[in-house]
Amino acid sequence: MSPLLEVSELSSGYGDFRALYDISITVNEGETLAVIGANGAGKTTLLRAITGLVPTWSGSIRFDGQNLLSVPAHRRVAEGITMVPEGRLLFPSLNVRENLLVGGHGRRPGPWTVERVVEVFPLLAPLLGRPSAVLSGGEQQAVAIGRALMANPRLILLDEVSLGLAPVVVRQLYAALPQITAHGATALVVEQDIGQAMSVADQVVCLLEGRVSLEGPSAGLDRADITAAYFGMGHRTEAGSNEGQG
Amino acid sequence: MKGYRISRSTPESTVGLIGFGALVVVLGTLPWWDSDGSLQTPLVAILYYLALAQMWNLLAGFAGLVSIGQQMFVGIGVYGMLQMAEVGGVDPYVAIPLAGLVAAVLSVPVAAFAFRLRGGYFAIGTWVVAEVMRLLTTESNDLRGGDVRALTRESLGGYSLETRTNSVYWLALGLAVGGTAIVVLVLRSRLGLALRAARDNEGGARSLGVSIARAQLITWVVVAFWTGCTGAVILLNTTSTTAGSAFSVTRWTALVIFMVVIGGVGSTTGPIIGVLVYWIIDEQLGDADAWRFIILGGIAAVMATVAPKGVYGLLQQWRPLQFFPVRRRLAGGPDNPSPPDVGDPEPQTAAEGEQ
Amino acid sequence: MEWVNAIVQGILLGGLFALFATGLSLAFGVMRFVNLAHGDLAILAAFLAVSFSATLEVNPFVTMALVVPIMALGGYVIQRFGFNWSIGTDPLPSILVTFGLAVVIQNALLERYSADSQGLDIGTFETRSIEFTDDIAVGWFPVLILGVAVVVLVGLQLFLSFTRMGRAFRATADDPSTARLMGINDRNIYAVVMAIAFATVAVAGLFLGIRQTFGPTDGPAQLIFAFEAVVIGGLGSLWGTLLGGIILGVAQTVGNQVDVEFNVLSGPLFGHLIFLVVLAVRPSGLLGRGRG
């Protein structure tokens, strides 16, 4: 297996705020990697840095061997990186079909069409002409995933797909993941829900306050270790030391 | 949290205030040592331009109200002065604050219209209102804005030419110094805090809601008052006018905007620098009116893109100084307070301190 | 009968205002950008036509084939390499940049062409008209202007609704950052929007120059009329822009008629007052979606 995405010693953030400290992760082609961590651990920043929406301060991001640093966000889509953003962020002026079509704006060749997206998410079939704003949360999330697929990605970044959705809906959505990877896309999943992440991922990376606190194959990780890495227990953390001073 | 205190003064702001005070004394005594008026005459215009610049900057740089209609308040001041002194027989010096008051009163219904618009549309909206006022003044049989009208000898009362010349100079100085003081006082007040919240963080400001709109309205009225007073003094200086020149967008707004942008929007020192830069450029260009606007407008347009904080901002990058004590800083306590624990924030450019 | 004629002429004049307003409306709709040099660009285009038709010795109508593409290219370049730097959550930089540009254009025109009024002479077509009654005559040229305005607005609406690029325009208008995730280059979209805005305002400027004489400082008035048409019609609605233009046109011609009969209020003032009334009663405009 060759590495599709190699992030090495990546630092990034917003304005003066540093959110990531020398993060290194690797995603192999065909594997599903789950990035877990508490709120504020830097998961979303990591994804936004990979897509180019936030600048890389230092370190490198290589995709299929190519250095992405000088590639602007809209070109990274053409390279085959796409993201389902947290909060879904559908375009309210566009109806469902148009939201899907705009996902394929870059005209990158590949298997995905509106019809195929509807095959994967049959619930969208009667909704194609509707304004996206009137959909339920689960329906919107299906559109958001479908919209990302329309770019015919090699790497699809899924940010907090389960956020704010009923468990049964989340299960439905994740059930589609094998069909997605079967069409040749590698998935990087960000989740707060550890159980959900472990069930779909081959590899797991846990972030804590902008640093990698644990990584390994999901099958081999001990639940107690994950919990410790997730909440930072047993580590001497910045927050802890500050509390000591304050 | 023991050991922290809020402080506005810095060592250089103390030096700055002393220097500013000394400058005011020097300028205030100028009529006694500049006997031929070679400095005094151009300084009158420079000083009332500084007043206008501080007022526009207070609106656009701090209150988020980018107005291109400031000429309406100048025009109201001019015609308020004309009507009161010429028709009403009011002493011209008494008429100055009254003209400002008229501008302040009229600014409230103007706000009722213009505040419905935001950003660029607010800018054009204020321009339209100023245009309406110019047209009304032109067409009014009482105001006769289409004709040249002047303050006559009778309405100027028993004041001698020398008294008038010197008093206009001192009034202009007072408008400039007072205008600067108004900005400092507004920024130091609770009003300033509300305005800054509105500028720096739209989301947070929205949750404050009502108080922001009120702060903007109060600022708007204060600016209208001071700009109206300035208009009245401008008429005292020139003594004659038409609606076209009293409500001129280029003279009373465009030039003022260019000065502030070149000097530095959103700082109290910026307008002072801008007015001085304007003075220098103006002296060089003499009568070449079109070129003056091409050069100033060009510099301002480029400046707004590459150096949005103007000359003052560039100076700050080189050596940060704070001449006016307007910014609250946290003093005392540990040297490096820990950064707040922020969870994956939405991407937004960090709000930069603007003084 | 004079009143009916005034209304008919106002509707036709509204076509010109709508054409002026199209670019302003589009740029605001897609990128919340207000170009204060919009009116001056129209005057610039008219002066370009004066120069071209003089040097090439052709009818000013023909110079449109030259002026409009040049202006469109200029719009693309100035947005891509200039205005884009001033776009952001704070509207102040963009207002300052475009206001500076407006003053530069006005004074550059003054310097190059002097303050004298100019006109574009296209021959007899300008004066030909159909007479319905003794009092009501409809000029072919104003009808042409209204026709062009309708075609431009309908065309733009179709473009936005049914093309890949139009979809990208709307997505960018909704959320430029997420649009980038779709592979849309928002900076390029903005530049194309400005190219369209410059092209349409160039057409409007040429029509204005054929209709009436013009001078270097006439731009701000055109900006204000365009802005009033946009606000009356409703922010973000192209149909509203057409309607707003027509209402403003009628207000001005009726206002002129009022001035003739009763000697109060001039045409433009009447138009401004209608604008203020709409702003007071319905701030989101007649067909607006309530955002703005």
Please list the alpha-helical segments (H only) found in B189-269.
190-200, 202-208, 210-238, 243-246, 249, 255-263
Q: Residue A8's beta-bridge partner residues?
A: A60
**Which residue from C167, C175, C183 is facing A98, i.e. has the nearest CB?**
C167
- Whose CA is closest to C75, among C110, C24, C111? C24
With contacts defined as CB-CB under 8 Å, which chain C residues touch A72? Answer: 180, 185
Q: Give dist(CA C122, CA C125) in Å, integer.
A: 7
Q: Confidence class of residue B200 from pLDDT cuts 50, 70 and 90?
A: low
pLDDT number for residue A197: 85
Whether C292 shows a pLDDT value over 50: the answer reads no
pLDDT number for residue B349: 36
For the stretch B307-341, pLDDT in tens is 888 999 898 888 776 667 666 655 554 444 444 43
> What's the maximum distance between 2 C-alpha atoms anywhere in chain A?
60
Q: Residue C131's beta-bridge partner residues?
A: C137
% of chain C surpassing 90 pLDDT? 72
Give chain C's mean pLDDT.
91
Q: Give dist(CA B107, CA B109) in Å, integer.
A: 6
Q: Give dist(CA C241, CA C24) in Å, integer.
A: 10
Q: Give dist(CA C94, CA C37) in Å, integer.
A: 11
pLDDT number for residue B331: 56
Burial of B153 (0-12, 13-18, 19+ CB in 10 A): exposed
Contact B343 A53 (CB under 8 A): no
**Strand pairing category for A155-159 and A186-191:** parallel
pLDDT number for residue B354: 36
pLDDT number for residue B33: 83
**Which residue from C86, C91, C101 is facing B66, i.e. has the nearest CB?**
C91
Whether C26 shows a pLDDT value over 60: the answer reads yes
- What kind of fold does domain A3-245 have according to CATH? Rossmann fold (3.40.50)
Q: What is the DSSP letter of A88?
A: -
Q: Hey, how many other C-beta atoms are within 10 angstroms of the C-beta on B101?
A: 15
Whether C264 shows a pLDDT value over 80: the answer reads no
* Average pLDDT for B45-55: 96
The CA-atom distances, in angstroms, between B133 and each of A76, B73, B74, B100 are 54, 10, 11, 16
* Average pLDDT for B217-244: 95
- In which domain, by residue range, is C31 found? 2-116+125-217
At a CB cut-off of 8 Å and minimum separation 6, what does C176 contact?
C31, C186
Q: Confidence class of residue B344 from pLDDT cuts 50, 70 and 90?
A: very low
What is the b/e burial string over B248-272, where b = at least 16 CB atoms within 10 angstroms of the residue's CB? bbbbbbbbbbbbbbbbbbbbbbbbb
Long-range contacts of A69-78 (CB under 8 A, 24+ apart): A72/C180, A72/C185, A73/C180, A73/C181, A74/A106, A74/C180, A74/C182, A74/C183, A74/C184, A74/C185, A74/C186, A75/C183, A76/A51, A76/A52, A77/A105, A77/A106, A77/A108, A77/A151, A77/C181, A77/C182, A77/C183, A78/A106, A78/A108, A78/C183
With contacts defined as CB-CB under 8 Å, which chain C residues touch B61? Answer: 92
Report the Cα–Cα distance between both ends of chain B, in Å, rounded. 26
At a CB cut-off of 8 Å and minimum separation 6, what does B184 contact?
B268, B324, B325, B326
Q: Give dist(CA A33, CA A2) in Å, integer.
A: 14
Q: Residue A17's beta-bridge partner residues?
A: A14
For the stretch C158-195, pLDDT in tens is 999 999 999 999 999 999 999 999 999 999 999 999 99
pLDDT number for residue A232: 80
Chains that touch B (3 or more CB pairs under 8 A): A, C
Give chain B's mean pLDDT.
84
Whether B224 shows a pLDDT value over 90: the answer reads yes
pLDDT number for residue A229: 86
Q: What is the DSSP letter of C118?
A: B
Q: What is the pLDDT along chain A (246 residues), one digit of tens a residue?
A: 578 999 999 999 988 888 999 999 999 998 899 999 888 889 999 999 999 999 999 999 999 999 999 999 999 999 999 999 999 999 999 999 999 999 999 999 999 999 999 999 999 999 999 999 899 999 999 999 999 999 999 999 999 988 888 888 898 888 888 888 888 889 999 988 888 888 889 999 999 999 998 888 888 888 888 888 888 875 444 443 333 333
With contacts defined as CB-CB under 8 Å, which chain B residues touch A48? Answer: 347
pLDDT number for residue B292: 86
For the stretch B136-180, pLDDT in tens is 999 888 899 889 999 887 777 777 888 888 999 999 999 999 999
pLDDT number for residue C166: 95
With contacts defined as CB-CB under 8 Å, which chain B residues touch C88? Answer: 349
Q: Give dist(CA B338, CA B343) in Å, integer.
A: 15
Q: Confidence class of residue B5 from pLDDT cuts 50, 70 and 90?
A: low
At a CB cut-off of 8 Å and minimum separation 6, what does B284 contact?
none
Q: Confidence class of residue B48 from pLDDT cuts 50, 70 and 90?
A: very high
Which two structure tokens, joined as six digits, stand for B15?
């030096």
Residue A214, SS3 per DSSP: strand
Question: One-letter amino acid identity for B225?
Answer: F
* Average pLDDT for C35-64: 95
Task: Determine contact, residues B259/B274, Cβ cutoff 8 Å.
Answer: yes
pLDDT number for residue B208: 55
- CATH code for the domain defined by B15-325: 1.10.3470
Looking at CA atoms only, how far is residue A209 from chain C in angstroms? 25
Q: Give dist(CA C119, CA C106) in Å, integer.
A: 17
* Average pLDDT for C39-63: 94
Q: In which residue are the tokens 């370049």 written?
A: C77
Q: Confidence class of residue B305 from pLDDT cuts 50, 70 and 90?
A: confident
Question: Which of the residue ranges B80-84, B147-151, C2-6, C124-128 has the most confident prediction, judged by mean pLDDT?
Answer: B80-84
Task: Determine contact, residues B81/B96, Cβ cutoff 8 Å.
Answer: yes
Chains that touch A (3 or more CB pairs under 8 A): B, C
Task: Determine contact, residues C277/C284, Cβ cutoff 8 Å.
Answer: no
> What's the maximum distance between 2 C-alpha atoms anywhere in chain B?
71
* Average pLDDT for B341-355: 36
Report the Cα–Cα distance between both ends of chain C, in Å, rounded. 40
- Whose CA is closest to A208, among A187, A222, A188, A228? A228
A244 touches chain B (CB under 8 A): no
Q: Residue B244's beta-bridge partner residues?
A: none
B300 touches chain C (CB under 8 A): yes
Whether B253 shows a pLDDT value over 80: the answer reads yes
Looking at CA atoms only, how far is residue C175 from chain A in angstroms? 7
Q: Give dist(CA B179, CA B173) in Å, integer.
A: 10
Taking each helix axis from N to C terminus, what angle separates B119-139 and B92-114, rounded to the nearest 10 degrees? 130
Overall number of domains in chain C: 1
Delimit the domains of chain B by residue range: 15-325
Q: In which residue are the tokens 């302003």 written?
A: C24
* Average pLDDT for B247-266: 94
pLDDT number for residue B342: 36
